[in-house]
Chain A
Amino acid sequence: VTVEPDERELLRSSARHLLQTAKPAELPGALVDLGWFDLLGADPAAAVTVTAEEQGRLRAATPILDLVMRHAAGVHTWPGPALMLPAPAQPREVSGTETSRGFQVRGVTLAGREQAEIYLLLTAAGMVAVPAAPLDRAPVAGADPELGLTVVTGHVDRRDADLVAPAGAVDTAIDAGRRWLASELIGLAAAMLAQAAAYVSARHQFGRPIASFQTVKHRLADVHVAVTAARAGVATAWADGTRLSAMAAKCLGARAHELASAHGHQVHGGLAFTLEYGFQRWIERGYLLDALLGRRRQLTGMLGEACIQAGVFPRTPSLANLS
């Protein structure tokens, strides 16, 4: 079953409506009520791509990524424990590390999951459910307090930990999470491109819109190229389902966002520096999303390592599997 173009537009407008109206904590429940798990089963590529792009465009902060990752891991429940993403800047993508007595926890949870009583840790052994009570929680302010992340740290005793999904499910969840983040970054970049294009078309200098100068329009053309390339990369990642393609898609999303930030800032003149205008909130959101599940520079090196070890570049997509 695949979602047809007109259904895709319907999905886009209903996702947009929900993201604009529902509270973060209530949003996944609202999606589940709308048949989200059925849609994820039937056409996950369309469901995730469309919703994540809309979330990026609107700069909404929701725990839908939690829903997407648990579904990919085979945990089809909602409400339920809060999935704990690995804390950024760790050598391995885990939120729990096994010790002699249990699990050392170091992770982040998404907006709307602040009150969770049980967490799902991503560990080398698999997905592990642990109680929240013994753990410390602290909201992340940093560059983008509106993202609503919570840092969770501490130690949980082995007797309180339950293995709910095997190690392979953790990998599947991380791949799904990277594909979501790729599309959310693309949504941010697309929104920034639209803002920049509107600004340079309205702003006049030397008697004409600055958008008519090649140096301005070529910057924005390059952002459009990066966004389009990233979307094609996401489609490949969904079509082949491989770990490397999910990593590559996230890198391309982050690259599109970084280019939209650099060129968008420049063509706005001094305006984008002001807090009131708000453009920099799209910039900071993207850098925070880039930090989740492996930042671009780290993933790029890992992609290179994987190609070197294999001795050949992956041949993906095939001509047949994207149509």
Chain B
Amino acid sequence: VRVPAGQVVGQVGGGWEAVMYLLQFERGAYAWLRQAEMLTDLGALLGRAAEAPGGAEAVGEAYLSMFALRSLASRTVNRLAAGERLGPEISVDKIVLGTTEQTVADTARQLLWPALELEDSVEARNWRRAWAFSRITTIYGGAIEVQRDLVAERLLGLPRGR
């Protein structure tokens, strides 16, 4: 697409840097939003967790993940609001967000067992969709492997490789 030179925003060729800068705001705010939704959605199953085998341990593990995510996201949102640039540190939040999404969906599957496998209730269908969707959270927006590379190379100072 041809665009008149007068319509250029910022520097030509500066898009990558702009995206990288803006991504931290998206990651921070989105993680805060998602942990709130997960606390609500999994919280709706707590009434049935007492009867589920291993329910207390599963709920405890899921809560630990959500507690860690909420603690990280709160810190990140506050740092961004204070004008800090997080750079590669935001990859940590992204990894914790993806893994927590999957832990929460796995916990719902366990607590509702065998509803996700056998039932066609609205709740079972919703959680089936949520579980399937949770599998993509370590892929989209920068796969978890890319995030781990960034953490290892940019935060731990390990050498680049293949």
Check if A211 sits within 8 Å of B159, measured CB to CB: yes
A220-B152 contact, Cβ under 8 Å, with A213-B161, A308-B50, A313-B39: yes
Is A49 located at the chain interface by the 8 A CB criterion?
A: no
Q: Is A317 an interface residue (CB 8 A)?
A: yes
Residue in B43, B46, B66, B78 whose CB lies within 8 Å of A322: B78
Q: Decide yes or no whether A229 CB sits under 8 A from chain B.
A: yes
Contact A228 B56 (CB under 8 A): no
Check: A208 CB closer than 8 A to any chain B CB.
yes
User: Are B158 and A232 in contact, with the CB atoms below 8 A?
Assistant: no
Interface members, chain A 22-73 (any B CB < 8 Å): none
How many residues of A sit at the interface, in one of the four size bands?
35 or more
Query: Is A303 a contact of B64 with CB atoms below 8 Å?
Result: yes
Q: Considering only CB atoms and an 8 Å cut-off, how many residues of chain B contact the other chain?
A: 48
A79 within 8 A of B: no
B116 at the interface (CB under 8 A from A): no
The reply to whether A317 and B71 form a contact with Cβ atoms under 8 Å apart is: yes
Q: Is B42 an interface residue (CB 8 A)?
A: yes
Q: Which of B19-27, B133-141, B143-151 sits within the interface?
A: B143-151
Q: How far is the CA of A214 from the CA of B151 in the complex (A)?
A: 12
Residue A255 interfacial (CB < 8 Å): yes
B160 within 8 A of A: yes
**B49 touching A304 by the CB < 8 A rule?**
yes
- B36 → A minimal CB distance (Å): 8
Answer whether residue A316 sits at the interface, using C-beta atoms and an 8 A cutoff: yes
Is B124 at the interface (CB under 8 A from chain A)? no
Give the shortest distance, in Å, between B51 (CB) and chain A (any CB). 10
Residue of B nearest to A228 (CB): B92
Contact of B145 among A214, A300, A302 (CB under 8 A): A214
Looking at the complex, which one of B61, B69, B77, B152 makes contact with A217 (CB distance below 8 Å)? B152
One digit per residue, 1 when the CB lies within 8 angstroms of any chain A CB and 0 when it does not, for chain B 48-86 equals: 011000011111110110111111101101100010000
Task: Give B13 Cβ to nearest chain A Cβ, in Å.
Answer: 30
A-B pairs with beta carbons under 8 Å apart, 16 shown: A201-B157, A211-B159, A217-B161, A221-B147, A224-B92, A224-B151, A224-B156, A232-B72, A233-B68, A248-B64, A300-B60, A303-B64, A304-B56, A304-B63, A307-B43, A307-B49
Chain B residues close to A by CB (< 8 Å): 32, 36, 39, 42-43, 46-47, 49-50, 55-61, 63-64, 66-72, 74-75, 77-78, 82, 92, 95-96, 145, 147-149, 151-153, 155-162
